[in-house]
A = this chain, B = another copy of it.
Amino acid sequence: MLCNRLYWGSIVGVQAEETGQGNGPTVVRMGDRVTLSDVADAAEVHVSTASRALNASSRSVVRPETVDRVLAAAAELGYRPHPLARGLRTSRSDSVGVVIPDLENPLFGPIVAGIERTLVPEGCSVLITAAAHHDEEEVAQSLVDRRVDGLILATAQRVDPVVEALSKASTPIVLVNRQVESVDVPAVVGDDRIGIRLAVDHLVELGHTTIGHVAGPSELSTGYGRRTAYEQAMHDYGFRVLVEDGLGFRVAPGEDATRRLLEREPSITAVVAANDLLGLGAYRTARALGRRVGSDIAITGYNDVAMLDLMEPPMTAVHVNFRRMGAMAAENLLAQVGGAPAPSKELLKPTLSVRASTTGD
């Protein structure tokens, strides 16, 4: 949709032509890209006519047989349009920028894969950049400079000045996985309320009544949302709210938070972690305290990243389809650049992957 791709040229990057016939040494010229005017010459039309013939949208204004001649010439010469020149003229680049907080986090691989899988078939390339908090503005700026057609951000904080600034600019943006509260901007995120509710309901069904929560960072919508969802669920059931903050979505903070939780309230029989790694931290603490995960204490994770089913015991976790999340974000962006009204907020329903860490085998 973004671009009309119909060039068949498959010569990879080098147009090897022999010049100097016979007398001198055979010179192989490299990198002599064939340009639109070459095609025009070969088809014996003006360059502008060639352009119109190649571009599906304007093709209607040129006589069919001329179109054929141009297309044939383009195919023959292996013509490939120059994206920079086109972008300069049209001020579009057929590319989108993606900003990821941490590429090593297993969560973002699938998101990017989903984005990729949706955008590349549209002839749109994907610029990926990692950005810590302090980088974020600079990184986003450099993407905007490159005239990306849109921006997908996975770095949003609940209040995020950079996102606010970007949302006022003309470049369409979509948030993914995390959302921002201070301003209304399109976002594709998981439904944390439903997810946490799935975990809690599951635990309640198993008979648990004293359920703790290892929370994630409160400046992120995911951490905050899951915490409030947990509190709401406890309230609905009439159970006590028992929360400890993990200072980051990592194993060590989960270990610490769980320790504090269990020291404060030893009667806890189940822990809902805001994230898989926090949950694995809970595993460690439980073991260190001599409690067997799955039988003595139930633990649930959140996200269900790869290899969780290979843990011992395999971990029950709220499953989020990140690949689909990425794809939806990409589609949302495509809709925006296409001028279509894009949904402002899309909630992805999670499911629950029940494993031995709650059922005890």
Contact = CB atoms under 8 A, between A and B. Distances in A.
Nearest to A14: B169
Given A84-B93, A170-B31, A10 B126 contact: no
Nearest to A145: B80
A267 interface: no
Contact of A170 (B10, B30, B82): B30
12 contacts: A10-B141, A12-B137, A80-B141, A83-B145, A104-B110, A104-B306, A108-B109, A120-B129, A125-B129, A125-B142, A311-B311, A312-B313
A10 B137 contact: yes
Contact of A83 (B30, B106, B139, B147): B147
B113 A104 contact: yes
Contacts of A134: none
A323 B105 CA distance: 13
A300 to B, nearest CB: 16
Interface stretch (A54-62, A63-71, A160-168, A212-220): A160-168
A263 to B, nearest CB: 23
A251 interface: yes
A107 to B, nearest CB: 10
B127 A166 contact: no
A148 B134 CA distance: 27
Contacts of A106: 106, 109, 306-307
A83 B146 contact: yes
A82 to B, nearest CB: 7
Nearest to A97: B125
A113 B103 contact: yes
Interface string A170-204: 11000000000000000000000000000000000
A211 interface: no
Nearest to A322: B104
A116 B128 contact: yes
A137 B104 CA distance: 27
Nearest to A107: B109
A110 B162 CA distance: 26
